[in-house]
Chains A and B, each alone.
Chain A
Amino acid sequence: MAENINNRRSWMIVPAHDPAAGTSYGEIKPDVVVLDLEYSVPPKAKEAARAGLGALVKKIGDSQTAVFVRIDRDTRWADVRAAMHRGITGIVFPGPDAPEEVAELDELITAMERERGIDVGATELVLMLESAKGFWHADAIAQASPRVSALGVGRIDLTMRLGPVPQDEFRLGRFLMTRALVAARMLGKQPLGALWRPGSRGGVASQPVTAKAAAEARLMGFTGCLCATPEQVMPVNDGFSSV
């Protein structure tokens, strides 16, 4: 973790099964490429996506771009095994509920580092908080592994698991962002998150809405966020850079 982790503004999610996964980032230039094994990959394409990770991680890693793999919480063990190749910067773990889950993943990553000839301890872990338990125990969860470099606020799962259907303003959002921010700053981790406005959530957020959300998040103390679409990368970079 030699570089300043707070310089990673845009974390562009790229479906790992997408044939363009190994090239699209070159033009868009996100600060981080997140190869996805979670929602953006159809169930039938998961195996192919896992099988292709080795080449993708190597290619992107060789270009000096930080490359993470977002695993699926329910299949995290198989996903981590598939993701751990030389060139990987880290794993994005969505929805941790307890410190034990993070510690277990840490052990698996260590074993895979040894097996694949990766420097032991070099692989980072980014935790995206998506549940009531996760937010409440954020400090213990983030301290469960020295690999944890960032704490983020999830979005789609978060709203589903906490109940409020965000037809209108997601009123819990600011409270949860505050809690994640405090935990991250207390522990010296990068705080990731931005709150999209109603009617333009997640991947469908327009560029102006994305820029506004990113700028607001920066004022709140966050330094980057996930980008569900390539179009969000530029406004996110701008929003988290402007003074």
Chain B
Amino acid sequence: MQHDAEKPLFVGEKPMPKYIRRSVLALSIDDAQLGEKAYASWADAIILDCPKQAGRDWQADLKARMPAAIHAAAKGGAEVFVRIHRDCAAAELDATVFAGIVGVVLTGVTAADDISAVAKGLDALEISRGIASGALEIDVEVDTAGAVWHALAIARASERFGAFYVNEAALCRNLGMQSAPRLAFDPLEYIKSQLITVATAVGGQAMGMSYPLGLTQGNADEANVKKAVRLARDTGFKGAMCPHAAWINICNEGFRPTAEEAAYYVKVIEVFAEGIKRGMASVPIDGKMIDVPVDLRAKLYLKWANRAQARDDAKARAHERQGN
């Protein structure tokens, strides 16, 4: 059963999730194999890190290299972002924002003003670099106490806001927490809950991983990564940064409804529709009561599954084009 991805299911529906960005891979523009790695990764999004070359005019250097780097990173159909830091945001924006990127990921944020300043910079750069006005997104890598405390103001600071990324290791350092996972519970549990809630409230989403893998970023075996991704998805995260290439496929498969879930949702929708036709307000399936909210949830989750599939199809087409 297919549902129109663009048509709202009910008034006020928020798309769930806003973007299909399940797996995000960071690559340096200095990486000689940038294009090959991006292409082979099947990541939904690539974040470009842009190191400044010592002893050179780094802005001129980056300006000269960014268009090709952005093109290379997009080879596999991934959305491309550049990562910049609050402290030198204006200069880094000028050096890295070119047609082809979807947005920027801002680190070191401590207050809403940081977002406003970047939004203003993007307004000007979109005009001067031939990018559609308002098109570029601002995502926030949460790595300071200030970003946590002011999360709502930060997310509301610009219409460009798209997502929070939880940088657990950096955030733990900033909060004076141990960066080794020695606690039996996730010390960032409430912070993650807050960021997921705030991002969703403004129509964005939160990206992160469950404890302890989100903190250790360890290269765990497949079963453990799958388990961690499932927990992260069920907590409310819509995707995660992947420190290892092996995480990408697991994230692509894990941050979406499973095939079994999708099949169940189809069944729910069909059985409930039949029940409505017979004049019933609720119907049972396998001993569970199906009523309007359950039906709506099934439709939303099925929409999510379909959008995830559409994203995979788009990446497959990008690979085919490159292959030709």
| A contact residues vs B (CB 8 Å cutoff) | 6, 139, 174-175, 178-179, 181-183, 185-186, 191, 216, 218-223
Contacts and interface: CB of A to CB of B under 8 A. Distances in A.
Contact of A179 (B187, B189, B190): B190
B177 A219 contact: yes
B187 A186 contact: no
- Chief secondary structure at chain A's binding surface: helix
Contacts of A175: 190
B177 A174 contact: no
B191 interface: yes
A178 B149 contact: no
Contact of B149 (A182, A216, A221): A182
A185 B190 contact: no
Contacts of B144: 186
B11 interface: no
A6 B175 CA distance: 13
A218 B145 contact: no
Of the four ranges (under 10, 10 to 19, 20 to 34, 35 or more), the interface on chain B belongs to 10 to 19
A139 B149 contact: yes
Given A185-B176, A186-B149, 20 more contacts: A174-B190, A175-B190, A178-B187, A181-B175, A181-B176, A182-B145, A182-B148, A182-B191, A183-B149, A185-B174, A186-B110, A186-B144, A186-B146, A218-B178, A219-B178, A219-B183, A220-B177, A221-B172, A222-B176, A223-B176
A139 B174 CA distance: 17
Nearest to A188: B145
Contacts of A181: 145, 175-176
5 contacts: A182-B191, A185-B145, A186-B149, A191-B176, A216-B183
Interface in B176-197: 176-178, 182-183, 185, 187, 189-191
Contacts of A216: 183
A174 B149 contact: no
Given A219-B177, A219-B178, A219-B183, A186 B145 contact: yes
Given A139-B149, A186-B145, A221 B191 contact: no
Contacts of B110: 186
Contacts of B176: 6, 181, 185, 191, 221-223
